[in-house]
Structure 1
């Protein structure tokens, strides 16, 4: 029920961090994976790392915020690698600043990366899934799809949009045998959160705020991703699965 053998998964923004961990988890369940990123060196290193673990891996370097690049890349994958059975829209970014100091350029960059990419890649992949009458799409949301924090209002807005876009995709595409769900990580130890992990005051606050009393490790996300990508979730659609140690359950 949880096997992904014989299936092909594209994970955007998967050279490092959460994206790489998700790709690794899907590969561990038997999927052939396509890694995406804009940094060629990091992408090549990620591919070699998974291949050394026995995974079947491909690299696809394209800008997920460019409509032309996205459409060309997806068409090329479908033609040269094979059908994309699973899409994980993981590419994203963070910008921290009080909202009154946030520039329009920063807002535009963040929204293009966090929201436009989900629409563009999701649309390009779904067109093929619709023809096949099957497919799994997992959009990476966040606890900030539900909760706010000082200095990240724009990020919160973007992840709230991804949550609702996920529901909209499920509504439009569910009739074609496609399940679209969100995966909402809490606070995880990654390169992007390294400064917060090392901030003793913040880390102590977070651990005290989290019922599981710890930071998340990226490996904690693999099981949830495999569930949403597999036949085990064949009647789960438009749902956001929070993997946050209980942060969204408590004040």
Structure 2
């Protein structure tokens, strides 16, 4: 879906803040961010919701709230919404806990507890190694490396992983990654359904037009896209007849 998070290729948002270009930036700028990352990972690992549900929850944020909050505040919004919607912890219970708990301080870089617990060791393994998203399938892929494709014009309110600026753009399949779980089915039905995944190459001219293409610095853009986002490119150009 297209929402406040889908800003690729849009004008008027201003330059990237200089501090975020610094490669030495810490992983977490504020102490609560590390806790938010861990809380989200633990909720996913223990089956409260899945990663695609969490991403879709962020997409549902009101635009003004999204643009006026930082990255891990987006996570907080989604996690609280999911826990409330699933009947695990209500908004009212969270508000009451905030109202009644004593003021505290989050340690920025806490030491790893000694001895560690089995649950902690499991979470560390998940955080450092990740989890696989590939899914076996006997269905062959529609496209092969080198195939010319065009991205479908998709505008839906359900979850997908298609950047809006790629709608209708022609490209070339650069690599097939096999089948991975479909993000929409995962987000909305909590099921793993195989969906072929490709890396697609797009030329700057096709993306941004001749004015941008004429600027110094030629490049191609690569995007990982699922099969249902793609169609075979027509062999004719606009204005021609087959």
TM-score normalised by structure 2 residue count: 0.24
Greater helix proportion: 1
TM-score normalised by structure 1 residue count: 0.23
